[in-house]
A and B are shown apart, each in its own frame.
Chain A
Amino acid sequence: MITATRKPMEEILKSVEPFRKILLLGCNECVTVCHAGGRKEVALLGAALRLGRLQKGQPLEVEELTLERQCDPEYVEELARTVDQYDAVCSMACGCGVQTIAERYPALPVMPMVNTEFMGASEANGVWAERCAGCGDCVLGYTGGICPVARCSKRIFNGPCGGSTKGKCEISKDVDCAWQLIWDRLKELGQTELYSKLMEPKDWSTARDGGPRRIVREDMAL
């Protein structure tokens, strides 16, 4: 899931300063699950914006709406008839949602209200941790299901570096050494031979190094 966190209020208030009437737009997908930009957070930010602006004596009209998905044109189209009533759209979706809105309604300023963080899994209620870096060439089958790209601080592919101590990474005692986790898991699985397999240099062109990526499924085209 894509995770996000709300931007600091100071930054948000500054970004909406020029506007009198905004559409505060949530998204019912990832940002709802990580409690950053769903209907609930839209209501909370809406109230905070109104209070913050009234306090300054510059009332802000906030229309609240949460789309099923902001990254899909079908749902974004729902705004077509009403969107010109607003001075700006303030989006609480991830960067994909913000850009989909901006592309579809180019005449309207679109302001991001959240910082899109990472692809994460839920560790506990209210805790999300980065698990995938979307490198486009998955090696989890060789690494006991633990990703050295997302979870090793140095993204190395052949065992731990010299900075691993007692299973922890040298960047922080709170960060597990991914390669220690991989070794422990491979032992549990009886697959330690995978650890000895020398990994070839990775082709990073499938990751961001290859420029912005696209998936084209010709079989899905209408």
Chain B
Amino acid sequence: MSDFEPVVVVFACDYCAYTAADVAGRMNLEYPAGVRIVRVPCTGKVDSLHVLRALEKGADGVMVAGCLEGDCHFKNGNLRAAARVKALKRLLDDINIGAGRVEMVRMSAGQGAVFAETARDFAETIREMGPNPIKPAAQAA
């Protein structure tokens, strides 16, 4: 078995996923250590460029974690984020990085277990995909 531990950047909305991650912590739920959480005011504020920059800097996957549909604190920030993620998936496929390296996920603030499970599942998907293919080239450059 490979000892590859994926680095996953999670852009977590302050109103839901970030709090859910906090709940997961209080519940002592485990998720991979490579999951790095970036707290954002709303996933609607997560720019496509933030995702690309994370990948450029060597993240193996990026999860954009927002509120449940219809529950966005800013009305439709999560829908905007989902549209961006969809467009990014196409771009990542076009440059052979792989659409699966970015995902939009949704949860409510109380769903600590969902956060932990989603983080585990996504990290597992990334583990199966293997490291971000730019890593060795970036190090060699």
B113 at interface, CB cutoff 8 A: no
Contacts of B95 in A (CB 8 A): 9, 13, 48, 51-52, 55
Nearest CB of B to A37, in Å: 15
Contacts of B133 in A (CB 8 A): 55
Chain-A contact segment, one of B27-35, B50-58, B104-112? B50-58
Contacts of B91 in A (CB 8 A): 9, 44, 48
A44 near B48 (CB under 8 angstroms)? yes
Q: How large is the interface on A (under 10, 10 to 19, 20 to 34, 35 or more residues)?
A: 10 to 19
A47 with B137, Cβ < 8 A, contacts A52-B95, A52-B96 known: no
Docked Cα-Cα span, A51 to B95, in Å, equals: 7
Contact with B along A37-74 (1 / 0, CB 8 A): 00010011001101110111111000000000000000
Contact with A along B76-112 (1 / 0, CB 8 A): 0000000000000001001111000000000000000
Number of residue pairs across A and B with beta carbons under 8 Å? Answer: 50
Docked Cα-Cα span, A59 to B125, in Å, equals: 27
A47 near B134 (CB under 8 angstroms)? no
B1 at interface, CB cutoff 8 A: no
A47 near B56 (CB under 8 angstroms)? yes
Nearest CB of B to A121, in Å: 22
Q: Which residue of the partner chain, among A43, A44, A55, A59, contacts B97 with CB atoms under 8 Å?
A: A55
Contacts of A54 in B (CB 8 A): 134, 137-138, 141
Q: Which residue of the partner chain, among B55, B97, B137, contacts A57 with CB atoms under 8 Å?
A: B137
Contacts of B138 in A (CB 8 A): 54, 59
Nearest CB of B to A78, in Å: 24
Q: Which residue of the partner chain, among A51, A56, A58, contacts B52 with CB atoms under 8 Å?
A: A51
Residues of A within 8 A of B (CB): 8-10, 13, 40, 43-44, 47-48, 50-52, 54-59
Closest 4 CB pairs of A and B: A9-B94, A52-B95, A47-B52, A54-B134
20 interchain pairs (CB within 8 A)?
A10-B94, A40-B49, A43-B49, A44-B48, A44-B49, A44-B52, A48-B91, A48-B95, A51-B52, A51-B56, A51-B95, A52-B95, A52-B96, A52-B97, A54-B138, A55-B96, A55-B97, A57-B136, A57-B137, A59-B138
A51-B95, A57-B136 given. 18 additional CB < 8 A pairs?
A8-B94, A9-B91, A9-B95, A44-B48, A44-B52, A47-B52, A47-B56, A48-B94, A51-B52, A51-B55, A52-B94, A52-B97, A54-B134, A55-B95, A55-B97, A55-B137, A56-B137, A57-B140
